[in-house]
Structure formats: structure tokens, C-alpha cells
Amino acid sequence: MTKEALYQQILAKQSYLCVGLDSDQEKIPSRFHSETDPVLAFNKFIIDQTADLCVAYKINTAFYESNGVAGWETMAKTLEYIPQNIYTIADAKRGDIGNTVHQYAKAFFKTLEFDSITVAPYMGKDSISPFLEYPNKWVILLALTSNPSSADFQFLNVDTNQTQLFEQVLKTSQEWTTDEHMMYVVGATQADMLQKIRTIVPDHFLLVPGVGAQGGSLQEVSQYGMNKQVGLLVNSSRGIIFSENPKESARKLQQEMAKYLEDYHKN
């Protein structure tokens, strides 16, 4: 999917919501347990409830890989069920080099045909380039995460100008490709850093997890992270899929987003 196509979806739906399919079999409602593939049945239900309200689905591959071959089959069938005009993310956080990373790229962009994949930048350009060889596919690079120990590395100063490591990741990675093929992960609980991030990557899309169950503020993320093409995919996983009414939970976020979009375009 191209950047323009994603932007048009956002405008059409007045939404920049990404629904995370972190479908833990132990947590899905009991009514799905009698199904041949409980997770697939649950995922189809969530997609049916939310497809008109979101512009992206993020499949956290760990919840599928942990179930072996059957889990991979569930992931593939879930991906096939997602409407073609909705952006898909393999939240796999891969990071390797050589022949290995070429196989990862093939697995997620050719065999499974995701639109994008999350990738760790620690090994540098060599671990990113093979993913960029696929037309209209995206790398979503981990930049600033919201976990408690993110400060172990991400905020370390890397030069005498007090440039922090996450800033250097943003600056250096822009040399590898354009904002048509690369996004960045920025945790919603780091919303106070979004203004600084936007000075470095003004035109890139940001994938922002952490709104909802993790306590991130949609208002702050929207206020400080939005750009001229919106530039945000805000993810909610547990807060939607395990809520009592997934459709209403998604609708509530979509309605908030529509308001922030209106306010932004007024200004």
C-alpha cells in the first residue's frame, strides 16, 4: 500500500486507528473455544466489528508463532480475511543480517503478503535493506518505545551535542529510504517527546502503540504527532479486542480521532 492510499483511507474513514490482534487464546471469550480454530474465529469477529472504523490491523506474531504450525496457519488465514484496502502490519520486531534477513523479508512480504513489518535497528542498515527491496512494502523501525527499560539504551547520549540514541536512529535511518517506505514506532506514553521527534522526521508516519490499556493519551499523541498527511497510526489492542463491546470501543476512539482531525484542519 502506498502512502497516498493510506492517507486517503484515513480521510475516508476519519480515523487513524490501528487495531492490534494480540489474540491470546487463553483470554478470548469462552464462546469461541468450541470452534475448530478459536483464535481465527475470534479474529474474524473482531475484524467484522471494526473494519469500518480502522485503517490498519497489527498482528503481533508472537501470539501465533507460540502455537507452532497451527499458529502460522491462523495468522495466514487472518491476514487473508482482512479487507484489501486496510493496511496490515506484522509486529514481528525482526532484526538480522545476511541470508537470514532476506528470508524474513520473503516470509512476511511474499509468503504472507503483509504491507509492513516492525524491525529493530540495532544491527544497522544491513538488517533493513532487504525489506526495502519489495515495492510498496514498509519497514516500521523501532525508535522510541514505551516499556519501562527503554531508557537503558534509547536515551543514551551518543555525541558531544547530547544527541540521544533514539534521535540518531531517526536521523541515520532517513538515509536508507524515503517516508514512502519507512515509519517509526513511538510509544504513546512517550507523547511528550513527539514534538522533538517531529522536528527530525516531519513527514514520516508514526506507529503509536500504548493508547488504551497502557495508558497513553490519544489527545496528546494527536496534538503533538499529527502532520500535514496526518502521519499517525494509533494502535489499540487489548483495549478493543478484549472489551465487552469491541465495536463500541473502536467507535469511541474513531470518534475522538475524527474530532482531532477536524480541529487540526481548522488550524
Residue spans of the domains in the chain: they are 3-266
Mean pLDDT of the chain: 94
Residue 214 has pLDDT above 60, yes or no: no
pLDDT score recorded for residue 255: 97
Helix runs in 181-237, H state only: 194-200, 218-225
* Distance separating the N- and C-terminal Cα atoms of the chain: 29
Asked if 266 is an active-site residue, the reply is no
Q: 211 pairs with which residues across the strands? A: 216
Task: Kindly give the residue spans of alpha helices, DSSP state H, lying in 14-127.
Answer: 38-50, 62-65, 68-81, 98-106
Is the per-residue pLDDT at 107 higher than 90?
A: yes
Confidence of residue 213 (pLDDT cuts 50, 70, 90): low
Tens digit of each residue's pLDDT (9 = 90 or more) over 128-184: 999 999 999 999 999 999 888 988 999 899 998 999 999 999 999 999 999 999 999
Residue 51 has what pLDDT? 98
**Grid coordinates representing 252?**
469511541
CA pair distance 29, 79, nearest whole angstrom: 21
How far CA 100 is from CA of 64, 131, 138, 162, 185, in Å, comes to 20, 12, 18, 35, 23
Q: Provide the pLDDT for residue 168.
A: 96
**Residues 83 and 51: beta-carbon distance below 8 Å:** yes
Q: In the prediction, which pLDDT does 212 show?
A: 59
State how far the Cα of 2 lies from the Cα of 163, in Å rounded to an integer: 32
Catalytic residue among 3, 13, 77, 93: 93
pLDDT value at position 203? 97
Closest of 179, 178, 184 to residue 143, by C-alpha: 184
CA pair distance 84, 181, nearest whole angstrom: 18
Question: What CA–CA distance (Å, rounded) separates 80 from 84?
Answer: 8
| Orientation of helix 68-81 relative to helix 38-50, angle to 10° | 20
pLDDT tier at 187, thresholds 50, 70, 90: confident
Look up the CATH number of domain 3-266. Answer: 3.20.20.70
For residue range 117-138, list pLDDT tens digits in order.
Answer: 999 999 999 999 999 999 999 9
What pLDDT band is residue 265 in, cutting at 50, 70 and 90?
confident
C-alpha–C-alpha distance, residues 241 and 41, integer Å? 13
Distance CA 264, CA 259 (A): 9
Q: What is the pTM of this model?
A: 0.95
Residue 91 β-bridge partners = 60
Q: Report residue 193's pLDDT band, with 50, 70 and 90 as the boundaries.
A: confident
